[in-house]
Chain A
């Protein structure tokens, strides 16, 4: 088996409680809660930002202390019925398990509870709450953001255990251990950059490290510098995939709402990728029409600074993509948007054009816009074809050599014009 195809986050997931790094206080609080737990006690709600070991601790503790784990995550929470079927059964059958197996019992483990969405999860949250209150087994909930209003009652019913981001030196040490195991030489600075960018998220640090270091013998700090860009792209690609593959406009809307990408950039990126996503021109035209209407509202927002209109922009974009009724197929998305990339490449030329236009405007009593439209194309022809006239024009307009080059199209010709 090809070892490198395995995710290091899995390979190096802690096997023992003692291996779980950081959050010593939360760890002992959780173990204490579990040790003392008896029916009627509160459930535990482990909370904190992603990738800092909440789920890992629960799994490792269950194994080490001899519990079996009945696990559910956000996708299972949709309806009350489903929650009751899985968790409810586990909760009441605990006594049987306890008698006939050698485990101490069962932990009901509900991961990502804040991933439950209100309207669609009919009764899901209420059911989780019910299980948490009446279970014969300890119930552990994990959430990133426990302050979500929908989790209000959950907070009262649970013992709250807070997890903090993993400190940088701890992350660096962890990565060093992996590097040693994998036989990779790493500059300390490289690890420091990775750890810093991870902002306490050990999981993403390991993922970043793997993507950078895999199949290398040596990782330098300079190899790591390019990482920020890649992170952002990853988010854009995720959002685009979620957006275009959404089955309902509500899903599409959610993909946009929950994206970390700046909306202006996202909007442009969707526009840029429409032709790739929609092969059928009529369908693409429908989506584009919605994008155009959304842009009109964007214009109003920017002029009036009334950002309260933003939801309508998102609505138009997400309902627009549904109107096309096209079956989703995966395409390789383009980012950054074609035009943004072109703008970057052409920045020097654009400033040069502005300067040339300013010179023309001063001499010929016209705006830069007219200079660009009604002078530059003609001047270019003259500069390409008549060095002598170009030379006297350059004098008259007071063009410098760079400007002459802009109009002549090549450095060589510009030099010849200057000499003549």
Chain B
């Protein structure tokens, strides 16, 4: 079977049944209750930070509902890849209207990152959820439930997935390492936690990459991985801006945006995280945090992220100079 050959640890150790899910005890208990009678199961809305098990739980539900043929009865879509009405109209509508197979009560549509949908698309989706409730169930997954329009929220049972705790993440990483025959030191786990926090997907990927670098995963290996995965470059860019090397900082920005393909909105969040680690005075941090908030708003309203992010870097450069 294809599932046995899996080599990405995130997939290999993805829970296959609700009982294997770490943390989220209440959510799992509640879902099990609902699944006792699949016909009465409402549409579901999962909300919570990235990498904490929402998609895994949705896939577990699919398995529990349909058994090993779950793939034939489940449509997985990611709204971040296709955000507009065409996706809703063509793919979801057609799929929702397909008849069921065998004893399955309905088909399942898992719509990941559904808060990325335009509000027009959400409105279109709302109608489809209503008209197809006999033949399909939806599991909508999002980071922020507030970005989902009210009428959809009111049609769903909402489950909030809280951020994973360090003990759970560490336990999971250690058990994977043991099964894979990789040695992990405590400082390695700490370093992964510092970098990934409750994002277990990123934590497992970090572990797998770090395991390739040496016999044992310690802080040093994790540092190397982290250096490649983002924060280091962002930090370099901010330091260049703060020391007045604006053109260098902006070239770095372009490099991050273009050659690493990072979206502006994600980058500004990373900048926000880094501001607290640059060894600036409290007053400077306060000023910059305020500035970043304003520019994140402008970034979402504006037309061109290069201009917004460059302008933000220019404020970094000027602020630091002005305070000297």
Instruction: Give me the interface of A with B, judged by CB distance under 8 Å.
Output: 267-268, 271, 274-275, 281-282, 284-286, 288-289, 291-293, 295-296, 298-302, 338-339, 342-343, 346, 349-350, 353, 361, 363-370, 372-375, 377-382, 385-386, 389, 392-393, 396-397
- CB-contact partner of A381 in B228, B244, B307, under 8 A: B228
Contacts of B81 in A (CB 8 A): 361, 367-369
Which single residue of chain B is at the shortest CB-CB distance from A397?
Answer: B8
> In the bound complex, what is the Cα–Cα distance between A267 and B302 (angstroms)?
13
Say yes or no: A296 contacts B315, CB within 8 Å: no
Query: Do A367 and B80 touch (CB < 8 A)?
Result: yes
Nearest Cβ distance between residue A171 and chain B, in whole angstroms?
Answer: 40
**Is B209 a contact partner of A381 (Cβ separation < 8 A)?**
yes
Contacts A295-B303, A339-B254 known; A382 to B208 CB distance under 8 Å?
yes
Measured between C-beta atoms, what is the minimum distance from A404 to chain B in Å?
14
Instruction: List CB contacts (< 8 Å) of B92-148 with chain A.
Output: 112-113, 116
Interface segment among B21-29, B32-40, B255-263, B280-288: the answer is B255-263
Q: Does B194 contact A (CB under 8 A)?
A: no
Residues of A within 8 Å of B298, CB to CB, are: 292-293, 295-296
Give, as a whole number of angstroms, the nearest-CB distance from B233 to chain A.
10
> A224: shortest Cβ distance to chain B, in Å?
33
Shortest CB distance A163–B (Å): 41
B-chain residues with CB within 8 Å of residue A361 when the two chains form the complex: 78, 81
B residues in contact with A293, CB < 8 Å: 298
A363-B11, A382-B208 known; A377 vs B317 contact (CB < 8 Å): no
Are A281 and B308 interface neighbours, CB within 8 A? no
Among residues 304 to 324 in chain B, which have CB atoms less than 8 Å away from a CB atom of chain A?
304, 306-308, 310-312, 314-315, 317-319, 321-322
When C-beta atoms are compared, the residue in chain A nearest to B318 turns out to be A285
Tell which of A302, A373, A385 touches B266, judged by Cβ atoms closer than 8 Å.
A373
How many of B's residues come within 8 Å of A, CB to CB?
66
Whether B11 lies near A364 (C-beta < 8 A) is yes
CA distance A389 to B182 in the complex (A): 14
Interface positions, chain B 159-203, Cβ under 8 Å from A, are 199, 201-202
User: Which residues in B have their C-beta under 8 angstroms from that of A380?
Assistant: 228
Tell yes or no: B48 within 8 A of A by CB.
Answer: no
In the assembled complex, the Cα of A373 lies from the Cα of B195 at a distance in Å of 14
- Are B205 and A375 interface neighbours, CB within 8 A? yes
CB of B301 within 8 Å of the partner chain? yes
- Proximity bits, B1-17, A CB within 8 Å = 1, else 0: 00001111011000000
Chain A residues with CB below 8 A from B41, complex form: none
Q: Is the CB of A393 within 8 A of B7?
A: yes
- Which residues from A are CB-within-8-Å of B6? 396
Interface presence of B157 (CB below 8 A): no
Residues of B within 8 A of A299 (CB): 301-303
Known: A339-B258, A381-B209, A381-B212. A298 touches B306 (CB 8 A): no
* B7 partner, pick from A286, A353, A385, A396, beta carbons under 8 A: A396
Partner of B306, one of A268, A275, A366, A379: A268
User: Beyond the given A374-B202, A392-B5, could you list 19 further A-B residue pairs with CB under 8 A, ordered by the A residue number?
Assistant: A271-B307, A271-B310, A281-B321, A291-B307, A295-B298, A295-B308, A298-B302, A298-B304, A299-B301, A342-B255, A342-B258, A365-B55, A367-B81, A372-B261, A374-B205, A377-B230, A381-B213, A396-B5, A396-B7
| Interface status of B278 (Cβ within 8 A of chain A) | no
Q: Which residue of A268, A365, A379 is within 8 Å of B112 (Cβ)?
A: A365
**Which B residues are within 8 Å of any A CB, using their own CB?**
5-8, 10-11, 50-51, 55, 59, 76, 78-81, 112-113, 116, 199, 201-202, 205-206, 208-209, 212-213, 224-225, 228-230, 244, 246-247, 250-251, 254-255, 257-263, 266, 295, 298, 301-304, 306-308, 310-312, 314-315, 317-319, 321-322
Residues of A within 8 A of B312 (CB): 292
Q: How far is the CB of A1 from chain B (nearest CB, A)?
A: 42
How distant is B119 from chain A, measured CB to nearest CB, in Å?
12
Contact across chains for B250 and A292 when beta carbons are under 8 A apart: no
Task: Report yes or no: B259 in contact with A368, Cβ–Cβ below 8 A.
Answer: no
How far, in whole Å, are A301 and B304 apart by their CA atoms in the complex?
12
Is A373 within 8 A of B262, CB to CB? yes
Contact of A350 among B202, B209, B224, B261 (CB under 8 A): B261
Assembled-state Cα–Cα distance A140/B116 (Å)? 65
In the complex, what residue of chain B is closest to A360 when comparing beta carbons? B8
How far apart sit A274 and B306, CA to CA, in the bound complex (Å)? 13
In angstroms, Cα B312 to Cα A281, docked, is: 12
When chains A and B are docked, how far (Å) is the Cα of A397 from the Cα of B10?
13
For A397, list chain B residues within 8 Å (CB): 8
Residue of A nearest to B225 (CB): A381
Partner of A288, one of B55, B225, B229, B311: B311
Report how far A365 CA is from B244 CA in the complex, Å.
Answer: 42
Please, which residues of chain A bring their CB within 8 A of the CB of B259? Answer: 346, 349
A275 touches B246 (CB 8 A): yes
> In the complex, A295 Cα to B298 Cα: how many Å?
8
Q: How far is the CA of A377 from the CA of B113 in the complex (A)?
A: 21
Contacts of B314 in A (CB 8 A): 274, 281, 284-285, 288-289
> Do A365 and B59 touch across chains, with their CB atoms under 8 A apart?
yes
- What 6 pairs between A and B have smallest CB-CB spacing? A285-B318, A367-B80, A298-B303, A292-B311, A288-B314, A288-B311
Which A residues are CB-close (under 8 A) to B59?
365
**By the criterion CB–CB under 8 Å, are B209 and A281 in contact?**
no
Residues in chain A near residue B78, CB distance under 8 A: 361, 366-368
Give Cα A24 to B254, complex, Å: 56
Closest residue of A by beta carbon distance from B226: A377
Some 18 contacts from A to B, beta carbons below 8 A apart, are A268-B307, A285-B311, A288-B315, A295-B303, A295-B307, A296-B302, A298-B302, A339-B306, A342-B255, A364-B8, A366-B78, A367-B112, A370-B201, A377-B209, A381-B225, A382-B212, A392-B7, A396-B6
Q: Which residues of A contact B306 (CB under 8 A)?
A: 268, 271, 339
Tell me the minimal C-beta distance from B195 to chain A in angstroms. 11
State A267–B78 Cα separation when bound (angstroms).
34
